[in-house]
Structure 1
Amino acid sequence: TRANLSKWNYLNNDFMLQNNRYMRLKTLVVGYTLPQVWTRKVKLEKVRVYFSGNDLWEVSSIRDGFDPEMGAASNNSGYPFARTWSFGLNVTL
């Protein structure tokens, strides 16, 4: 079986090697300021709507949960990276 191939095998082999390619969207900030033509009609100086997020998306071929950003400390015993979202509205009177 596959588990027995790596057990007690001290010879050089590439059985346990895997392709560690990954792609991760770490930070995204998107905002839009409404045109002053619209905001002045309701007596506001500026209105801005925004979205901010961290660790939003990941594609990986890594099978065992190894996190390349944590390196050797990534042994599936720690906390996973935190995914956060923020929505906001900035209004200037």
Structure 2
Amino acid sequence: MVPAYMEYNTISSSIKSLLQDSKTALLSPREVREALNKRFTINQVNVISANDLGITKDGGVLKVTTDYEVREPMFYNVSIVMTFQDEFSKDVRQ
């Protein structure tokens, strides 16, 4: 279970660092997706891609949402399912 949480932490920190960048306010949702794809590639994120994220820019607020699950087999027909859902937002009107 630890690798799944570590990968989620990498995803979360990649999104947060992008949203903290002052240039993010000028980017379209497509450009945000491309920037996140590059960060995911550099950080070797394999569980999801930037195409799996919800990225919207509405009313001056940029939102990035994650919603995915990881299944890890334990033994025989028993698996652990971990669900990761989160929403990150930045007011780009500033």
- Bigger Rg over Cα: 1
- With a CA cutoff of 8 Å and minimum separation of 6, indicate the structure with the bigger relative contact order: 1
